[in-house]
Amino acid sequence: YSIPQWWKEAVIYQVYPSSFQSHHGATTGWGSIKGITSRLDYLKALGINVVWSSPFFKSPQADMGYDIADYKDITGRYGTLEDVDDLISELHKRNMKLVVDLVVNHTSDQHAWFQESRSSKDSPKRDWYIWRKPKQSTGTGGESLREPPNNWAQILGEANSAWTYDSVTDEYYLSLFTPEQPDLNWENPEVRAAVWDVMHFWLKRGASGFRLDVINLISKAPDYPDAEILLDPTDHKYQPASKYYVNGPNLHDYLREMHREVLSKYDTITVGEMPGVSDENEILKTVGANAGELRMIFIFDLVDIDKPTVRMALKPWDLKEMKAIVTRWQRTMIENNGWNSVFIENHDNPRSVSRYADDSDQYRHVGAKLLALMQTTLGGTLFVYQGEELGMRNLPKSWDIDEEYKDIETINYWNKVKKIYADDAERLQHGRAVIEMKARDHARTPMQWDASPNAGFCDADVTPWMRVNDDYRTINAEAQMKDGGESVDLTVWQFWQLAIQRRKEQASAFVYGDFEELTPQHPNVFAYLRTSTSGEKWLVVLNYFGRQVEWHIPREVNVESWACGNYGNGQVSKPLRGMVPLKPWEGLLAKCA
Ligand code: TEU
């Protein structure tokens, strides 16, 4: 478990290219590859080793680039292949690496493969996608109706079918996310060979690995049965069907083949995005030390803590659940020689300070630092999402949904709510609340670099593709990086920087060490020990509550000194034993004997 590897100790930073940094002189308000390259020193200063960029490939952008039309070319909006070459060489100069976002569960409907596939039933690429005949049914007037092959709902719009009708050949194709994202047929060995070819292309070009988009969806239940009724059928003709495509029957065969054909030939970092799976044995098949599949995956238990059956909905949760999830995966990987990824933000989820802590002006900075302290002291490979290091927050509630929200999932959800609940003020209001808490847009506002117009994201005379959060004049990188001297409060950015540095210096404890939870029953406090194999011991105490609480250091924990806290300049004066008073959202780190 504790065998040191570069990809275990690396801190990975996710860039969302449309919203990270435009470049001077650009005429559109989109981020660019040149923009990313211009900020590498910023990332280096934060302590980042690896940059993962969300997709920058040629794409009609039906789903912000997660619909790829050419895996070997760059979307004009972001730049050129040469810009990516330049990004890679500038990264390498700084001893940093690039992780490419590979979206191969599906392509864009504009990809040449799909264009060929749809052209006729005899096309050599017909079987590269999943085509089925319409189901016939009889209408009320006795007329014959065309229906999708089964009742599966679309993931990014649950009011719609996961199947799209194509009149060219009078058949449906499977498109789990949106009609513009047809699913590839992984059962076809030619498809797999084409994917391996794309992977070789990027690794040879200097990429160091992949984040593999929804990679656990590539094997579907072969008979495509109807899904059980989970959503009220009066409102929902189609039903969530994840059971029939999450970790399907051939997934591990395909991943082992990918390893054999591609990954085993390079020294890569790989992280599989695997929503909807929480079974330990199933996950260890992929991330166990000798599994021969992927280095690690994203497990969604924590970011789905408030998810009932579909993502755009709300479920109450409490700290005990959160602790149980964190503890479960920390212990599981230690006991079974697997490997964790540590993350609570990405481009599909709301801002963590708004979700797990308190984003009010009073507590935002300590809340964001509390989350930084937790993540930098957990075992696994650490992922930071752009703006998380500044404590960026969700869109203001005052923003108009129709005007300011751009994501296809939000738009589909809001259209559904407005249509079904047009005369139901309460349910309309609930729909609005879901969007204000859960929309993917919250993570997609432009990065806040400084207090100048457009937050320094793009030139002042250009309109950004998405509105900049109004709070950028106070919450921005430039302001937070200013060294205010020792007497001044550490900013969220400075706290992250120090915490990342400590994590690396003490990797044997924080990255590789043992994990012991101390507070399973405490309603407000999450405290744990991290211990290296040579016996160095650290205590982490996190108050996940907006009030002062008291916590008693267990007798067997021998605190030597408090190393840091998330209040003030980071220095802590607290008792070394007995009762410790904790301020709202206070987090502490101690060295133990
Ligand atoms: O997301 C997969 C996806 O379905 C997520 O919405 C997931 O269900 C959720 O985060 C779990 O909480 C990936 C990409 O990250 C997303 O941006 C794309 O829209 C999607 O795949 C399709 O490519």
- Cβ of 103 closer than 6 Å to ligand 1, yes or no, is yes
Tell me the HSE value of 199 on the side-chain side, using a 13 A CA sphere.
Answer: 26
Among 263, 272, 261, residue whose Cα is nearest residue 218: 272
Q: How many angstroms separate the alpha carbon of residue 262 from the centre of ligand 1? A: 24
pLDDT number for residue 199: 98
Among 120, 124, 121, 132, residue whose Cα is nearest residue 162: 132
- Cβ of 177 closer than 6 Å to ligand 1, yes or no, is yes
Q: How many angstroms separate the alpha carbon of residue 127 from the centre of ligand 1? A: 25
Interface predicted TM-score (ipTM) of this complex, two decimals = 0.95
- Ramachandran angles phi, psi of 24, nearest 5°: -60, 130
Per-residue pLDDT of the chain (593 residues; tens, 9 = 90+): 778 999 999 999 999 999 999 998 998 999 999 999 999 999 999 999 999 999 999 999 999 999 999 999 999 999 999 999 999 999 999 999 999 999 999 999 999 999 999 999 999 999 999 999 999 988 889 998 999 999 999 999 999 999 999 999 999 999 999 999 999 999 999 999 999 999 999 999 999 999 999 999 999 999 999 999 999 999 899 999 999 999 999 999 999 999 999 999 999 999 999 999 999 999 999 999 999 999 999 999 999 999 998 999 999 999 999 999 999 999 999 999 999 999 999 999 999 999 999 999 999 999 999 999 999 999 999 999 999 999 999 999 999 999 999 999 999 999 999 999 999 999 999 999 999 999 999 999 999 999 999 999 999 999 999 999 999 999 999 999 997 766 689 999 999 999 999 999 999 999 999 999 999 999 999 999 999 999 999 999 999 999 999 999 999 999 999 999 999 999 999 999 999 999 999 999 999 99
Name residue, tokens 């470049």.
23
Q: How far is CA 126 from CA 119, 123, 195, 215, 224, in A?
A: 8, 5, 17, 22, 18
Among 19, 52, 214, 341, which is best to mutate for testing ligand 1, by the most ligand atoms less than 8 A from CB? Answer: 214
Residue nearest to atom 1 of ligand 1 (CA): 214
The answer to whether 227 and 150 have CB atoms below 8 angstroms apart is yes
pLDDT number for residue 487: 67
pLDDT number for residue 312: 94
pLDDT number for residue 139: 86
What letter does residue 362 receive in the DSSP assignment?
A: T
Residue 280 appears among annotated catalytic residues: no
Q: How many angstroms separate the alpha carbon of residue 214 from the centre of ligand 1? A: 7
- Cβ of 413 closer than 6 Å to ligand 1, yes or no, is no
Which ligand 1 atom is at minimum distance from the Cα of 275?
11
Residue 197 appears among annotated catalytic residues: no
- Cβ of 155 closer than 6 Å to ligand 1, yes or no, is yes
Q: How many angstroms separate the alpha carbon of residue 589 from the centre of ligand 1? A: 34
Polymer length of the chain:
593
**What is the set of domains in the chain, with CATH numbers?**
6-108+186-481 (3.20.20.80), 112-174 (3.90.400.10), 513-592 (2.60.40.1180)
What letter does residue 275 receive in the DSSP assignment?
A: T
